[in-house]
Amino acid sequence: MQRVRHKFSSPDGSVYGSLQSCVRTNDLGLVGDGTHLTSFGMLGNFSFKGPEYRVSCELWTRVLRDLKVSTEPVHVHPDRDDHKRIWKQLGHDVVDDPGCEWSDGHIGGYCCEIYSRGVEIGNLVNPLGHSTDVGFGLERPAPGPDHPRSRPDLGPLPQKRRQARWQGPGLHLP
């Protein structure tokens, strides 16, 4: 995100995807709770006054369904009826969550949070009301009850991301 961060304040209609290695620095007290790691992989996409927010919602709905990741109702800020409408049209249940706001201290906006098995696995932010900043933790979704949440590295995304390839409108797995 750091390489393209300036585009939020000077949007040019461009789009980017990223696979980032992240190191936790500002909330180390959460490490060890079974859902937070000191480092993790983040798969994301960004648009800077480009494709509308709905495009990211559609993309991540397809990715999660293709990977067979079960999701809970999408958490949406109560002031964003447009976001609620999008998720419902895509077949998701929605719950109001006044905590669905995100900021890095400079750039922020309302967000929608995706959960699987009680753990937040993704966050779709609508920064400044005109762009999109999406991030999904690759280690978060657990494949079953025999894999404890304290070992999120055992989830399906790390293994499947190596096998996946994009082809046409969706994600295809061999």
Q: What is the pLDDT of residues 65-123, one digit of tens each?
A: 988 888 999 999 999 999 999 999 999 999 999 999 988 888 889 999 998 888 888 89
**Domain assignment of residue 174, yes or no:** no
CB 99, CB 105: distance < 8 Å: no
Asked if residue 148 is part of any domain, the answer here is: yes
Q: Please give the pLDDT value at position 35.
A: 62
Strand ranges (DSSP E) for 2-38? Answer: 15-23
Per the structure, how many domains does the chain have? 1
- On whether the CB atoms of residues 76 and 86 are closer than 8 A, the answer is no
Does 106 reside within a domain? Answer: yes
Q: Is 65 a member of any domain?
A: yes
Look up the domain containing 93 and give its range.
5-166
Asked whether the predicted pLDDT for residue 53 surpasses 80, the reply is: yes
Band of the pLDDT at 125, cuts 50, 70, 90? Answer: very high
28 within some domain: yes
3-state secondary structure of 102: strand
Q: Assess if residue 39 is contained within a domain.
A: yes
Residue 147: CATH number of its domain = 3.30.930.10
Q: What is the pLDDT of residue 73?
A: 96
Q: Is residue 129 part of a domain?
A: yes
Cβ-based neighbour number of residue 17 at 10 Å: 11
Q: Give the strand pairing for 39-48 and 15-23.
A: antiparallel
Note the pLDDT tens digit of each residue in 147-166.
Answer: 344 444 444 444 444 444 44
**What per-residue confidence (pLDDT) applies to 141?**
57
Average pLDDT score, the chain? 77
